[in-house]
A and B are shown apart, each in its own frame.
Chain A
Amino acid sequence: MSAPRRFDAMSRFNVAALALGLAFLYLPIVILVIYSFNASQLVTVWGGWSLRWYVAFFNDEAMLAAAATSLRVAAVSATLAAVLGTLAALALTRGERFKGRTLFSGMLYAPLVMPEVITGLSLLLLFVALGMERGFWTVTIAHTTLTMCFVAVIVQSRLGGIDRSLEEAAMDLGCGPVRAFVAVTLPLIGPAIAAGWMLAFTLSLDDLVIASFTTGPGSATLPIRIYSEVRLGVKPMVNAICALMIGAVALTIITASLATKLSGRRGGNAAPM
């Protein structure tokens, strides 16, 4: 083919739409990060560059404890979600028909859009009915329930793109079904699982509503703390915490995309959705 080019090439309108859209998405975050370095006590007055709010955060025991709780919940729930979500994706793409498949896929897709207040309230009621002590584990279970659905969607989209004859070829060359899966499919969906894990981790770190319902005394997560601060107005220290979280996410994404590049571009889309 002789270099086919779209006839309606990038018009000025398209460039403007894209530029404005991205500016809209990024400007507030950039402003937030800049203001986190503000030396002034007043959040809206620029008083020069300073790290004082970061220092304040690292001296705030309650905030640090909440951050630690959040990280623990996120790590455990993301790991559980990665395992369960991958299994769910496999069941959906590999088992054409089994009883309750429709219900299963419905249960996996519904939490993606279900208002969090409903998910949070219903889980809380379950924990109360089961007589479970509310705290670290209830939040973790709640987050796993939500995030495994995201993992399932990501892994499923990757699985759908894999030619099943690859596995068949492995079996033809003498692998059993399980060996074939481990030797061929798992490495191929590995990046998707990793992306799913990271998404689950950040979603858990991010969640306010479900955590508010399912947590107990002494297990406040970081968003719960931030929320109670924010309700009372803007606090410079919150800027710093937010900037730290944004930095962590940016670092993770950069690392992940570098890792995908280095591992020979077999990952396809490292971060769908």
Chain B
Amino acid sequence: MSGRNLFTRPARLAAIAPYGWMVLFFLVPFGFVLKLSLSQVANAQPPYLPVFDLSAGWRALVAAASVLSLDNFRLLLSDDLYLAAGLRSLTVAATATALLLLLGYPVAYAMSRLPRRFQPLAMMLVIVPFWTSFLIRVYAWINILQHDGLLNQVLLALHVVSAPVVWLSTDTAMYIGMVYSYLPFMILPLYATLSKLDPSLCEAAADLGSSPLQSFWRVTLPLSLPGIGAGALLCFIPLVGEFVIPDLLAGSDAPMIGQTLWLEFFTNRDWPVAAATAVMLLAILLLPLVIYDRFQRRQMVRP
């Protein structure tokens, strides 16, 4: 009772600055993306039409607005390149998320089974690589995977292969890079859920006749679903729009949607199509984003 009265007002005041900032720099920009996606490319600065000029008055605004069209989306939908990019992004992100889960779950599980006093250290060890640069981590793999890189040297030395394997510019390299870069994002939510799991639940399952594997399947796994969901979303959503990893590690024949956007923007300087691609990407991610938002809010209610 007293808490609410005393804290709510300062809390509202505290909200003003960050709220305003996020509205201006996160929410409003989406409006510009949407508007631009309906505009036409132009050889001008900025390189698109129409440009709303508020000083020109209402008539000019209406005239400008009439130039807006769905042409860019028609282009996206008619050209196989964009659809293929969208589809590829989804499959790549889904595959990488599955791989992350496969690799991250045992690590998170093992962490949660460590003696309590070692758990903070293990968590720290998983977090630390996340603090080093993303670009550096991808770059580190280029070092290892290149034609005469360490991996091929080791494989040749062990006579596993007789000639250097092409790793770079393949999907394998891309998946390695993705799994490597996103692993902490998968492990941490999984660990958070698994470490909160009451160990007596597994004991109860064993006591009631479950073998260790059955206990895992019937108790641990179902109860860690929230962690799996959080980790999967935390990896899947940014992976769909990933640019750096496929750009540096995968081949260039089948770009992901993030690469397409980058290409349209920086190479072709077709800002409207880039914006339309962004809108398409957002549309693809809308459902996962809504689920993610629900998730975060539920976490907040019961921390």
A/B contact in complex, CB under 8 angstroms: yes
- B106 touching A128, Cβ below 8 Å: no
| Residue count of chain B within 8 Å CB distance of chain A | 105
| Shortest CB distance B62–A (Å) | 19
Interface of B is mostly: helix
Which chain A residue lies CB-closest to B136?
Answer: A242
B41 within 8 A of A: no
Please tell me if the beta carbons of A44 and B135 are within 8 angstroms of each other in the complex. no
Task: Pick the residue among A17, A43, A118, A226 that contacts B282 (CB under 8 A).
Answer: A118
- The distance from the CB of B269 to the nearest CB of chain A, in whole angstroms, is 13
The residue in chain B whose Cβ has the minimal distance to the Cβ of A43 is B143
Q: Is B150 an interface residue (CB 8 A)?
A: yes
Least distance between A226 CB and chain B CB atoms (Å): 6
Binds B, one of A48-56, A58-66, A203-211: A203-211
Whether A31 touches B150, Cβ cut-off 8 Å, given contacts A8-B212, A171-B6, A202-B131, is: yes
A117 cross-chain contacts in B, Cβ below 8 A: 241, 243, 258, 261-262, 278, 281
12 A-B pairs in the complex with CB atoms less than 8 angstroms apart: A18-B111, A20-B107, A21-B107, A21-B126, A24-B180, A31-B144, A85-B18, A88-B22, A94-B10, A108-B22, A123-B29, A177-B7
On A, residues with C-beta under 8 Å from B are 6-10, 13-15, 17-18, 20-22, 24-26, 28-29, 31-32, 35, 43-45, 83-85, 87-88, 90-92, 94-98, 100, 102, 104-119, 121-123, 125-126, 128-129, 141-142, 144-145, 148, 152, 156-157, 160-161, 164, 168, 171, 177-178, 181, 198-199, 202, 205-209, 212-213, 223, 226-227, 230-231, 234, 238-239, 242, 245-246, 249-250, 252-253, 257, 269, 271, 273
Q: Point out residues on B near A: beta carbons under 8 Å.
A: 2-4, 6-8, 10-12, 14-15, 17-19, 21-30, 32-33, 36, 46, 103-104, 106-107, 109-111, 113-115, 120, 122-137, 139-144, 146, 148-150, 153, 180, 183-184, 187-188, 199, 202-203, 206, 212, 233-234, 237-238, 240-244, 248, 258, 261-262, 265-266, 271, 274-275, 278, 281-282, 285, 289, 292-293, 296-297, 300, 303
